[in-house]
Structure 1
Amino acid sequence: MAPKQIRLSFLELANTGGYMASGQWKRPDDTSTTKDRLKYYLDLARLADRGKISAIFFADWFAGFEVYGGSMNAILRRGHQVAHMDPLLLISAMAAVTENVAFAVTQSTTFSKPYALARQFSTLDHITDGRCAWNVVTSHTESSAKAMGMDSMTPHDERYLVADEFMDVAYKLWESSWAPDSIHLDKTTGFAFDGDKIRKIEHKGRYFQLSGRSQVHPSPQRTPVLFQAGTSKAGMAFAAKHAEGIFLNTVNVSQAAKTVSDMRAAAAANGRDPQSLKFFPCIMPIIGRTQEEAQAKYQVAVDNADVVAGLAQFSGYTGIDLEPYPLDEPLDLTGQSTAHAIQAVLKALTASEQENDAPWTPRRLGMRMALGGLHPCPVGTAEEVADVFQQWVDEADVDGFNIGSVTNPGSWEDVVDLLVPVLQRRGMMWLDYAVPGGTFRENLLGHKELSPDHYGSSFKWGREVPCLAGDVKVNGEKMVNGTH
Structure 2
Amino acid sequence: MAPKKVQICFLETCCTGGYMAAGQWKTDEDVSSTKDTLEYYTDLAKLAEKGKVSAIFFADWYGGFEIYGGSMDAMLQAGHQVAHLDPLPIVSAMAAVTKSVSFAVTMSTSYENPYVLARLYSTLDHLTKGRCAWNIVTSWSKCAANALGQENVIPHDERYDMADDFMDVTYKLWESSWAPDSAVWNKSTGVAFDASKIKKITHKGKYFSMAGRNQVHPSPQRTPVLFQAGTSKSGAAFAVKHAEALFLNTSTVAQAKKVIADARAAAAARGRDPKSIKFFPCIVPFIGRTEEEAKAKYEHAKKHADPVAGLGQFSGYTGIDMSQYPLDEPIDLSKANQAMAIQSVFRALEASESASGPWTPRRLGIKMALGGLHPSPVGSVQQVADVFEEWATEADCDGFNIASVTNPGSWKDTIDLLIPELQKRGMYWDDYEVPGGAFRENLYGAGQKGLRDDHYGSAFRWGMEIPEPEVVEEEKGSMPEPAVLPARATVAAHG
Name the counterpart of 1:452.
453
Name the counterpart of 2:279.
279
C-alpha distance in structure 1 between counterparts of 2:400 and 2:189, whole Å: 50
Deviation per CA, 1:157-215: give whole Å up to 9, x if none: 10001101000000000000001111111122211111111110111111001010010
Q: TM-score with structure 1 length normalisation? A: 0.96
User: Does 2:255 correspond to 1:263?
Assistant: no
For the residue of structure 2 that corresponds to 1:282, the secondary structure is strand
For the residue of structure 2 that corresponds to 1:203, the secondary structure is strand
Name the counterpart of 1:324.
324
User: Does 2:316 correspond to 1:342?
Assistant: no
C-alpha distance in structure 1 between counterparts of 2:329 and 2:264, whole Å: 41
Name the counterpart of 2:190.
190
CA contact under 8 A between 2:165 and 2:469: conserved in structure 1?
no
Deviation per CA, 1:93-142: give whole Å up to 9, x if none: 00000000000000000010000000000000000000000000001100
User: Does 2:394 correspond to 1:365?
Assistant: no
Letter in 2 for 1:30: D
C-alpha distance in structure 2 between counterparts of 1:393 and 1:207, whole Å: 40
For the residue of structure 2 that corresponds to 1:323, the secondary structure is helix
C-alpha distance in structure 1 between counterparts of 2:354 and 2:226, whole Å: 35
C-alpha distance in structure 2 between counterparts of 1:433 and 1:89, whole Å: 25
Moved more, 194-203 or 336-345: 336-345
Name the counterpart of 2:239.
239
C-alpha distance in structure 1 between counterparts of 2:469 and 2:436, whole Å: 38
Name the counterpart of 1:6.
6
Name the counterpart of 1:476.
468
- The correspondence of residues 104-123 of structure 1 with structure 2, limited to 5 A, is 104-123=104-123
For the residue of structure 2 that corresponds to 1:170, the secondary structure is helix
Name the counterpart of 2:410.
411
C-alpha distance in structure 1 between counterparts of 2:391 and 2:244, whole Å: 19
Deviation per CA, 1:40-88: give whole Å up to 9, x if none: 0010000000000000000000010110000000010111000111000
User: Does 2:74 correspond to 1:74?
Assistant: yes
- The correspondence of residues 143-182 of structure 1 with structure 2, limited to 5 A, is 143-182=143-182
C-alpha distance in structure 2 between counterparts of 1:19 and 1:55, whole Å: 18
Deviation per CA, 1:434-481: give whole Å up to 9, x if none: 0010000000012111000000001011222xxxxxxxxx11379xxx
For the residue of structure 1 that corresponds to 2:324, the secondary structure is coil
Measured on the aligned residues, the alpha-carbon RMSD in Å equals 1.0
C-alpha distance in structure 2 between counterparts of 1:110 and 1:63, whole Å: 14
Deviation per CA, 1:13-45: give whole Å up to 9, x if none: 101111110000000110001000000001000
Larger RCO, structure (CA 8 Å, separation 6 or more)? 2
C-alpha distance in structure 1 between counterparts of 2:468 and 2:308, whole Å: 53
For the residue of structure 1 that corresponds to 2:322, the secondary structure is coil
C-alpha distance in structure 2 between counterparts of 1:327 and 1:5, whole Å: 44
- The correspondence of residues 25-40 of structure 1 with structure 2, limited to 5 A, is 25-40=25-40
User: Does 2:55 correspond to 1:55?
Assistant: yes
C-alpha distance in structure 1 between counterparts of 2:189 and 2:281, whole Å: 52
Moved more, 281-290 or 180-189: 180-189
Letter in 1 for 2:459: S
Moved more, 233-242 or 343-352: 343-352
Q: What's the offset of the Cα at 1:290?
A: 1.1
Name the counterpart of 1:481.
none
C-alpha distance in structure 1 between counterparts of 2:352 and 2:26, whole Å: 28
Structure 1 stretches of 5 or more lacking a match? 465-473, 479-484
Name the counterpart of 1:482.
none
Letter in 2 for 1:373: G
CA contact under 8 A between 2:227 and 2:243: conserved in structure 1?
yes
Name the counterpart of 1:139.
139
For the residue of structure 1 that corresponds to 2:9, the secondary structure is strand
Question: Which 4+ stretches in 1 moved above 4 angstroms?
Answer: none
C-alpha distance in structure 2 between counterparts of 1:25 and 1:121, whole Å: 32
Name the counterpart of 1:467.
none
Aligned residues: 468
